[in-house]
């Protein structure tokens, strides 16, 4: 697939067909993640691959709790209609973990987010590769990490960048418009 087509054609997918993601496809997705840049090439990421329905159900439960909490706090009305059912429907969930200690030298200069930045680049690579393979996915973060950690077995020294839900799209996703990027020349005014 042409690079521009991949970048502009990728959409978040929240409705999946039941067909599994093959081991070959999974290898390809993880290789795309691994080619992301990272500070000092420290490659701070790892993933938990989830296909077990009981484990997906437990993950959805944590997401439903977050949704209920936001609603109880008077959160935006769309939250009432938002269903994280795709956490159970998607054939493959990849929980993406990173080691915040692997953030390069930025830690000395008040740049504590190097490992997360690298991992985010990796997730985007993975989503683009999924799109090129005819798969689709959504990067999901609508949960309390403190509640999700024990479900996924993430130790306290690692962080969770999100859960990427993957599979074959059941229908086309809406195209959400983008604003032109504000550009300043030489320095901000």
Ligand X SMILES: Cc1cc2nc3c(=O)[nH]c(=O)nc-3n(C[C@H](O)[C@H](O)[C@H](O)COP(=O)(O)O)c2cc1C
Residues that bind ligand X in the complex, under the rule CB under 6 A: 11-12, 14, 138-142, 162, 173, 176
Nearer to ligand X, 27 or 116 (CB): 116
Task: In angstroms, give the least distance from the CB of 155 to ligand X.
Answer: 22
Question: 142 vs 158, which CB is nearer to ligand X?
Answer: 142
CB of 184 to ligand X, least distance (A): 24
Q: How far is the CB of 105 from ligand X (least distance, A)?
A: 25
Radius of gyration of the chain (CA): 18
Sorted by sequence, the CB contacts under 8 Å of residue 186 that are 6+ apart come out as none
Q: Quick one: how far is CA 36 from the chain centroid?
A: 14
Q: Specify whether the CB–CB gap between 169 and 15 falls below 8 A.
A: yes
Q: Encoding tokens for residue 150?
A: 């024990």
Residue nearer to ligand X on the CB measure, 27 or 57: 57
CA distance 127 to 147: 25
Cβ proximity to ligand X: between 51 and 141 the closer is 141
Task: Give the shortest CB-163-to-ligand X separation in angstroms.
Answer: 8
Query: Who contacts 147 (Cβ-Cβ below 8 Å, separation ≥6)?
Result: 62, 65, 66
Q: Which two tokens stand for residue 102?
A: 């692997």
């Amino acid at each position: 697939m042409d690079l521009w087509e991949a970048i502009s054609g990728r959409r978040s997918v929240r409705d999946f067909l039941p067909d599994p993601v093959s081991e070959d496809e999974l290898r390809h997705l993880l290789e795309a993640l691994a080619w992301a840049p990272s500070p000092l090439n420290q490659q701070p990421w790892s993933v938990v691959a989830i296909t077990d329905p009981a484990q997906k159900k437990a993950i959805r439960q944590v997401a439903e709790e977050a949704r209920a909490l936001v609603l109880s706090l008077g959160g935006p009305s769309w939250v009432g209609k938002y269903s994280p059912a795709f956490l159970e429907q998607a054939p493959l969930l990849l929980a993406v973990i990173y080691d915040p200690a692997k953030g390069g030298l930025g830690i000395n200069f008040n740049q504590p987010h190097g490992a997360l930045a690298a991992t985010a680049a990796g997730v985007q690579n993975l989503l683009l590769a999924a799109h090129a393979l005819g798969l689709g996915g959504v990067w999901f973060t609508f949960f309390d990490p403190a509640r999700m950690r024990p479900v996924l077995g993430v130790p306290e020294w690692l962080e969770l960048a999100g859960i990427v839900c993957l599979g074959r799209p059941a229908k086309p996703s809406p195209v959400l418009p983008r604003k032109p990027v504000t550009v300043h020349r030489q320095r901000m005014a």
